Amino acid sequence: MVPFAGYAMPIQYEGIIAEHLWTRAHAGLFDVSHMGQLLVPPGEDKALEALLPGDITGLGKGVLRYSLLLDPHGGILDDLMVTRRDDGLYLVVNGAVKAADVAHLRSGGISVDYRDDWALLALQGPEAVTVLDRLVPGVADLRFMRAGSFAWGGHDLWVSRSGYTGEDGFEISIGVAGVEAFAEVLLAAPEVKPIGLGARDSLRLEAGLPLYGHDLDPGTNPIEAGLAFAISKRRKTEGGFPGAEIILGQLLGGAPRKRIGLAVDGKLPAREGALVFAGDVPVGVVTSGGFAPSVGAPIAMAYVAAAQAADGTPLEIEVRGRRLAATVVPMPFKPKNYVRAEGSNA
């Protein structure tokens, strides 16, 4: 257990590799209650749009949208999920910056209700739907990036078919009074094991998903980060979000650097902060890296100069005083397994 964002968080239970592979094959339960759950009342869509590049006014009920809080220069203050509910807009933000996010939203004139009386669980893996639908009938009807209200044992649940592992799965918001009992019932299922932060990190890395504070920060903009999809079509035309001139300029003309995936030769993993070289010239830096259990080899994410960002480009990473051969590869490193439409995975 380690302290993180004011919480005691588990790194591992039986081992990172075992937990990682269990989640890929079965179902893993993550306690992600350190994340910030916020409610913005109805009628504040436009005010929220002034702070991020997503189409909030056009967001349908029960639809999730990935978006970004941006500073005046287009730098990423946080990445988050926004969902429309009957009682307003539901935001899930990163735990380490949730206090700063609340202050930033309020400084933009937005009313924010920080719900620290809600816990958040993530049930991830191909058997997650079987387990959860036994306890909460109807959740199997949700598709990827859709959410709805359910109930269990007298407790209200807000369930979304989403997660940060690249697998099918769910995130479940429940009042703190009911979360322990609900987690114990989930863990009693033979398909489910508890999973710690170590495997959560290796799972999202294999899925090519950036982690705030490592792969994303105020020195990074959405185009460099490969997150142009978070800029809704209408906002690309209208602008009106922080840093729009810089971001839309790079959208048309290209960014000077890009977030890339790297396949690393050998068995030695490259870690955050390692320099990336093209010949003798430093061209970038690793922001996330480690051994990928499902791939069976070390992988890394890095930002490199645009000229070295094409798939297939040979590069080197400096690790412990030696150079490791690496190749730029497309992400995700392992295909995602989201249930997007009836009977289909993508």
* Residues 173-197 as b or e (16 or more Cβ within 10 Å = b): bbeeebbeebbeebeebebbbbbbb
| pLDDT tens track for 159-202 | 999 999 999 999 999 999 999 999 999 999 999 999 999 999 99
Region of residue 250 (left: phi > 0; alpha: psi -120 to 50; beta: else)? alpha
pLDDT (0 to 100) of residue 5: 84
| pLDDT tens track for 130-146 | 999 999 999 999 999 99
Q: Coil, helix or strand for 163?
A: coil
| pLDDT tens track for 276-315 | 999 999 999 999 999 999 999 999 999 999 999 999 999 9
pLDDT at 341 over 80: no
Give me the mean pLDDT over the 260-267 stretch: 97
DSSP state for residue 216 in the 8-state scheme: B
pLDDT at 30 over 50: yes
| pLDDT tens track for 57-97 | 999 999 999 999 999 999 999 999 999 999 999 999 999 99
Percent of the chain past pLDDT 70, that is, above it, reads 98
Q: Which domains does the chain have, with CATH numbers?
A: 2-206 (3.30.1360.120), 256-329 (2.40.30.110)
Region of residue 91 (left: phi > 0; alpha: psi -120 to 50; beta: else)? beta
What mean pLDDT value characterizes the chain?
96
pLDDT at 343 over 90: no
Task: Please count the CA atoms within 13 angstroms of the CA of 267 that sit on its side-chain side.
Answer: 0
State the CB neighbour count (10 A cutoff) for residue 275.
16
pLDDT-derived band at 31 (thresholds 50, 70, 90) equals very high
Q: DSSP letters along 196-211, please? A: -HHHHHHHHHHTT---
